Structure 1
Amino acid sequence: MQTQFNVQIGSFRKINKIPNAWSNEDYLQLMAIMGLDDGLEGMDAAELREMCMMSLNDLEVNEAAKIVLTHLFTELTEGKIDQVSNDMVGDRLWEEYSDCLLHEGFFSAYALLREAFNGVFAEPTGIEFTVNVTATDADDLTIFDESLHASMVRLLASGLSPDALLHRLYEDQLTGTQFPEATGILWQLESVSSEGLSRQFKMISSDFWFGKLADVEQFEASAHADESDENE
């Protein structure tokens, strides 16, 4: 059942990297893939990161991309990684790759590789923003407890024009009962406050999906949760 909300866009800013997307452990694993993991014990975080970036820069562009993708995407075959690593420079795979569940990983890959090569790779375009959601009945807010990402993508879709790409590509999921791709559209999403009939959410996504919301102050929206699978 569709429930109605008032949505107000709060802070809204463009980003080209996700905070804390890369950890010391990530850098160590990248160095290991490159066969350069000896003698790294005791190296502080800044030195380790600099060493990793320099090591990537020593490689050919597509080889460096292959290293990063091998670390990020264990679900991709070696052949697929070879293909995609050669496509990265000319493409914007955080927007264009067919499986949106991999878009966040590609976004972070581009951010790292662009820095390592002082450009070359396209600059990833993301957004970090907050929304305040107000319901007419407290029970309506439970959809965000039941399926947070799916409910929020449906909610935000109400603020976009009917011909927006999100509507064209995911019409069935937006109106239907299951939206497994939602976590690939909203990469990070959390509830940051709750008061009465209102909740505030903070999220990170691609400018590709929700950049148009930068020009929106508020809108009326409908949304619903995914239906639970009774066979689970």
Structure 2
Amino acid sequence: MNYQVAIKNIDTVNEVEGYWSDADFVALLQKFNYPDGATAEKSTLPELLEMAISDYEPNEAAQIVLEYKLGDQLSEGQIEQISNNMLIDKVCEEYPEIHMQGTLFHVNQLLFKAYNGKFPNAKASVVHFSMTPTNGEAQKLTAENILKLLNNGLSDRNLIKRLFENQMSQNIPFPEAEGIVWELDTKDDVNYSLITSENWINKEDITESEFEAVLEEIENEA
């Protein structure tokens, strides 16, 4: 299907509003030995957590938050290694398991804020765009569809295009897309917003703001 694509703007943000729920704050406060989170004013929970976190050594705090968010996917040794690496590198941009990078970003930024900069400051991109079919009705697009359709508007220097050239330009499966795109929202299947790492897509990556693109049916590998 043919699409007319328009990239409207890209916002660069330090955190994704609403990612951490009140329940997350209460659970984390408990893990940081602050038992009264459940009865505290909800508006004070983020600040209380920052104060509770700052009583710990940075790598210890990182281990606690990583265990809370990724304890079912990472071993104790992996968590310890990541918690140390986070103090010197943007692990959320470099970790080889792409599907974990979004969670690592949110953990990193929580710690960055609590420790006032002891952790590297990573950034996310919120991309606002529209994808209008020129010869048919709009249908809900997946992260994989979206990235393939954005291909024509991205610079050849873009990291996604460099690492996944074939997946972006050919009608073959692109399972990594689900990890690259952290959030994808639309109300009408035409106007979209997606959230990803600034490392994957940033303002400098956009070479065309309006362009045509073709979405072919993906051939599943036998």
How far has the Cα of 1:111 moved from its partner? 1.4
Question: 2:59 is matched with which residue?
Answer: 62
Look up the SS of the partner of 1:21 in the other structure. Answer: coil
Matches within 5 A, 1:72-221: 72-73=69-70, 74-139=72-137, 141-142=138-139, 144-145=140-141, 148-174=142-168, 175-193=170-188, 199-211=190-202, 212-213=204-205, 216-221=208-213
Deviates more, 1:174-183 or 1:116-125: 174-183
Counterpart amino acid of residue 114 in structure 1: F
Q: Is the 8 A contact 1:150 1:225 kept in 2?
A: no
Which stretch shifts more, 76-85 or 200-209? 200-209
1:214 Cα deviation from its structure 2 partner: 5.1
Q: Percent same amino acid among aligned pairs? A: 30
AA of the residue aligned to 2:61: A
- Per-residue deviation, residues 15-47 of structure 1 (Å, max 9, x unmatched): 11001011111112212333x253333211133
Task: Name the counterpart of 2:37.
Answer: 40
How far the C-alpha of 1:221 sits from its partner, in A, is 2.1
Provide closer, same or farther for how the CA distance between residues 132 and 108 of structure 1 changes in structure 2, counting only shifts above 3 A. Answer: same
Task: Please provide the CA RMSD for this pair.
Answer: 2.2
Structure 2 portions without partners, runs of 5+: none
Separation in structure 1 between the aligned mates of residue 38 and residue 109 of structure 2, nearest angstrom: 26
- C-alpha change, 1:224 and 1:113, in structure 2 (3 Å) is farther
* More displaced stretch, 73-82 vs 127-136: 127-136
- Check conservation: 1:157, 1:166, Cα contact below 8 A: no
Aligned to 2:214: 222
The residue type paired with residue 125 of structure 1 is K
CA distance in 1, matches of 2:177, 2:155: 19
**Conserved in 2, the CA contact under 8 Å of 1:154 and 1:224?**
no
How many Å separate the matches in 2 of 1:12 and 1:90?
27
Q: TM (normalized to structure 2)?
A: 0.88
Measured at CA, do residues 52 and 154 of structure 1 come closer, stay the same or move farther in structure 2, by a change above 3 Å? same
Aligned length: 219
Deviation at residue 58 of structure 1 after TM alignment: 0.9
